[in-house]
């Protein structure tokens, strides 16, 4: 039986890197979750990106529990979450000589930690990280989440947490505790409910160990921000190919297998292709359509179309709003039993790169303007 633990992020403050929580239900529920993690159990918790499914990265039974709960492919590595750079250095990099973090990352983590940035680091010799996290890789991904609940949970337990998104494998990522409950009911003991995630897509994953450095997965930190903040070392950063081959080892989640997909068929209409909407729906003989429009497509695109129920789902007109709403609307569309989801494509600048990365991975078809 899965229990939902209510936690109020406003009850949590930080004295430097240490969480401060007055006696309250929030503190009681966090202690329950900490106790579960120390017993090698799996706990879902909110981050600023999406909800995560966490267990101690130093516990092989705990990490195996994540894979089992998600039905996750056994060759898909996990990102590790720490409460601070100090915790990273003292618990996972204690055997690494200084500087423990490669200098190329320093300007980025000074700006974006805590936050939605994951960096790849060399796996130390005699590492305490479970091999089930890294799956034979010579590197591991790590970040410091900005959500106070996530940071407090990790700091209170003193356990770096391996934590992929808290959805069942292939489904859209979870941005609310209810989404997690729908996917993980009776699969895990506890879900921490800390309200909706702010960003709505996962962290950006960067690899500064190669030349030129790469963005392995676009996310909450944009390409433009990395080039601006990272200095000369990141001016020529490249975007890695979005999909890995079947037998290829991957360095980060999201590069392999079907991802982020609702049950209904997803079609992306690129800007300028709105004149093809009606004929497309007719040709597919769709009867229930979710219409996820954003910046330019009109609400009235399907006016006069008979025998089709169209659910209008405006994602918003800013990239931040679209990012925040995307996975939620994917899940809402499934709850309505639609047979077709139409998504308006956007430009791949700033947050649009991560948004379109997720949409393309979910889509079965892309309709161009010409």
Q: At what angle do helices 177-184 and 319-335 cross, to 10 degrees?
A: 40
Q: Return all residues near 236 (Cβ < 8 A) that are at least 6 apart.
A: 212, 213
Regarding whether 98 and 206 lie in a shared domain, the answer is: yes
How many C-beta atoms lie closer than 10 Å to residue 367's C-beta? 16
Q: Is residue 279 part of a domain?
A: yes
Cβ atoms 207, 216 nearer than 8 A: yes
Catalogue the E-assigned strands of 135-201: 139-143, 161-162, 190-193
Among 186, 204, 239, identify where a domain stops: 239
Among 191, 221, 239, identify where a domain stops: 239
168 has binding-site annotation: no
60 has binding-site annotation: no
Phi, psi (rounded to 5 degrees) for 153: -60, -45
Give the Cα separation of 285 and 153 in Å (integer). 49
- Single out the residue of 130, 158, 142 nearest to residue 101, CA to CA: 142
Average pLDDT over residues 55-78: 93
Q: Is residue 167 part of a domain?
A: yes
User: What pLDDT score does 260 carry?
Assistant: 85
- Bond from prior residue into 197 cis (ω within 30 degrees of 0): no
User: What pLDDT score does 76 carry?
Assistant: 84
Q: Is residue 255 part of a domain?
A: no
- Residue 185's alpha-carbon distances to 177, 327, 335, in angstroms, are 11, 19, 16
Domain CATH number, residue 347? 3.40.50.11030
- Residue 90 CA, distance from chain mean position: 26
User: What pLDDT score does 255 carry?
Assistant: 53
49 has binding-site annotation: yes
Domain CATH number, residue 58? 3.90.870.10
The residue to which tokens 């292939």 are assigned? 170
Average pLDDT over residues 363-367: 95
Q: Return all residues near 232 (Cβ < 8 A) that are at least 6 apart.
A: none
Regarding whether 316 and 231 lie in a shared domain, the answer is: no
CA atoms within 13 A on the CB side of 353: 21
- How confident is the model over 163-217, as pLDDT tens digits? 999 999 989 999 999 999 999 999 999 999 999 999 999 999 999 999 999 999 9
Average pLDDT over residues 52-74: 95
> What does pTM read for this prediction?
0.94
Regarding whether 216 and 105 lie in a shared domain, the answer is: yes
pLDDT at 53 over 70: yes
pLDDT at 52 over 90: yes
- How confident is the model over 270-320, as pLDDT tens digits? 999 999 999 999 999 999 999 999 999 999 999 889 999 999 999 999 999
275 has binding-site annotation: no
260 has binding-site annotation: yes
- Single out the residue of 48, 35, 3, 28 nearest to residue 200, CA to CA: 48
User: What pLDDT score does 246 carry?
Assistant: 47
User: What pLDDT score does 235 carry?
Assistant: 96
Regarding whether 269 and 144 lie in a shared domain, the answer is: no
User: What pLDDT score does 300 carry?
Assistant: 95
- How confident is the model over 108-157, as pLDDT tens digits? 999 999 999 999 999 999 999 999 999 999 999 999 999 999 999 999 99
Q: Is residue 252 part of a domain?
A: no
- Bond from prior residue into 103 cis (ω within 30 degrees of 0): no
- How confident is the model over 223-275, as pLDDT tens digits? 999 999 999 999 999 999 775 444 445 556 655 556 788 999 999 999 999 99
Regarding whether 93 and 24 lie in a shared domain, the answer is: yes
What does the DSSP assignment read for 74-100?
Answer: TT---EEE-S-HHHIIIIISTTSPSSS
Regarding whether 157 and 92 lie in a shared domain, the answer is: yes
pLDDT at 31 over 70: yes
Q: Is residue 304 part of a domain?
A: yes
Regarding whether 130 and 9 lie in a shared domain, the answer is: yes
Regarding whether 273 and 229 lie in a shared domain, the answer is: no
Q: What is the count of structural domains for the chain? A: 2
Q: Is residue 315 part of a domain?
A: yes
284 has binding-site annotation: no
Q: Which two tokens stand for residue 228?
A: 């601006």
Q: Is residue 10 part of a domain?
A: yes
Q: Which two tokens stand for residue 338?
A: 């639609």
Regarding whether 349 and 285 lie in a shared domain, the answer is: yes
Q: Is residue 311 part of a domain?
A: yes
Compute the C-alpha angle 156/11/59, nearest 5°. 25
Regarding whether 207 and 106 lie in a shared domain, the answer is: yes
Regarding whether 269 and 231 lie in a shared domain, the answer is: no
Regarding whether 226 and 121 lie in a shared domain, the answer is: yes
Residue 277: domain span: 265-367
- Residue 35's alpha-carbon distances to 2, 31, 117, in angstroms, are 15, 6, 28
217 has binding-site annotation: yes
Q: What's the mean pLDDT when you consider all of the chain?
A: 94
């Amino acid at each position: 039986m899965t229990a939902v633990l209510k936690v109020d992020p406003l009850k949590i403050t930080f004295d430097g890197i240490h969480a401060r929580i007055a006696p309250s239900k929030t503190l009681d529920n966090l202690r329950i979750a900490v106790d579960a993690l120390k017993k090698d159990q799996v706990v879902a918790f909110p981050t600023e990106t999406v909800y995560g499914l966490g267990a101690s990265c130093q516990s092989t039974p705990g990490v195996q529990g994540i894979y089992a709960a998600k039905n996750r492919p056994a060759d898909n590595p996990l990102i590790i979450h720490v409460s601070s750079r100090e915790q990273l250095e003292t618990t996972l990099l204690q055997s690494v000589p200084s500087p423990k973090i490669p200098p190329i990352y320093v300007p980025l983590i000074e700006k974006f930690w805590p936050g939605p940035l994951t960096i790849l680091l060399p796996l130390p010799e005699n590492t305490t990280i479970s091999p089930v996290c890294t799956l034979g890789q010579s590197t591991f991904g790590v970040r410091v989440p900005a959500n106070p609940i996530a940071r407090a949970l990790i700091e209170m337990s003193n356990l770096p947490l391996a934590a992929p998104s808290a959805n069942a494998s292939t489904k859209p990522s979870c941005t609310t505790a209810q989404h997690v409950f729908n996917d993980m009911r009776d699969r895990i003991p506890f879900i921490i409910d800390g309200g909706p995630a702010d960003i709505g897509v996962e962290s950006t994953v960067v690899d500064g160990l190669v030349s030129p450095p790469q963005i392995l997965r676009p996310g909450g930190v944009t390409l433009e921000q990395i080039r601006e903040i990272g200095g000369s070392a990141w001016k020529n950063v490249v975007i890695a190919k979005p999909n890995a081959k079947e037998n290829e080892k991957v360095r980060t989640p999201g590069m392999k297998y079907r991802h982020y997909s609702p049950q209904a068929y997803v079609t992306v209409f690129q800007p300028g292709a709105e004149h093809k909407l009606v004929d497309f729906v007719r040709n597919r003989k769709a009867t229930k359509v979710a219409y996820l429009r954003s910046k330019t497509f009109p609400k009235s695109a399907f006016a006069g179309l008979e025998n089709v129920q169209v659910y209008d789902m405006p994602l918003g007109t800013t990239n931040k709003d679209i990012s925040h709403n995307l996975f939620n609307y994917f899940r809402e569309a499934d709850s309505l039993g639609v047979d077709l989801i139409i998504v308006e494509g956007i430009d791949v600048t700033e947050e649009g790169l991560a948004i379109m990365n997720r949409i393309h991975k979910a889509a079965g078809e892309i309709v161009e303007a010409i």
